[in-house]
């Protein structure tokens, strides 16, 4: 009789151990799944950030090109009107150059 009780106790312990191992394996699978999801989300965030940065660079380059073209047009117009600019005109040119430099550098 007593050996049956011992045998049942051993079987309960073995079942509990098997269940515990199964639970540990399930936790490992879930952890790997969560890590994979995290990596995928990080990759998507990185792709969106790269796209946004590229769009910002393009917009900045376009704005800078337009400002440079505008400045060059103003310079040509000034060159056509007078070979030697008046002091007031020189001050306007210097102010325009300073303003353009500030806009291009964000200062």
Tokens representing residue 28 in the block: 């490992």
Q: Which residues contact 75 (CB under 8 A, 6 or more apart)?
A: 93
What tens digit of pLDDT does each residue of 51-69 get?
A: 999 999 999 999 999 999 9
Q: At what angle do helices 2-81 and 87-105 cross, to 10 degrees?
A: 170
* pLDDT score at 90: 79
Write down the domain spans for the chain. 2-105
**pLDDT the model gives residue 98:** 87
Please, what is the end-to-end C-alpha distance for the chain in angstroms?
Answer: 92
- Which regions of the chain are under pLDDT 50? none
Q: Can you give the pLDDT at residue 85?
A: 61
């Amino acid at each position: 009789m007593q050996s049956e009780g011992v045998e049942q106790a051993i079987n309960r312990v073995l079942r509990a151990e098997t269940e515990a191992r199964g639970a540990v394996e399930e936790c490992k699978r879930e952890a790997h799944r969560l890590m994979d999801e995290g990596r995928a989300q990080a990759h998507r965030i990185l792709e969106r950030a790269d796209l946004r940065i590229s769009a910002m660079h393009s917009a900045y380059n376009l704005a800078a090109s337009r400002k440079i073209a505008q400045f060059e047009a103003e310079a040509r117009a000034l060159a056509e009107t007078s070979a030697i600019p008046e002091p007031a005109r020189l001050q306007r040119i210097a102010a325009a150059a300073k303003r353009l430099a500030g806009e291009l550098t964000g200062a």
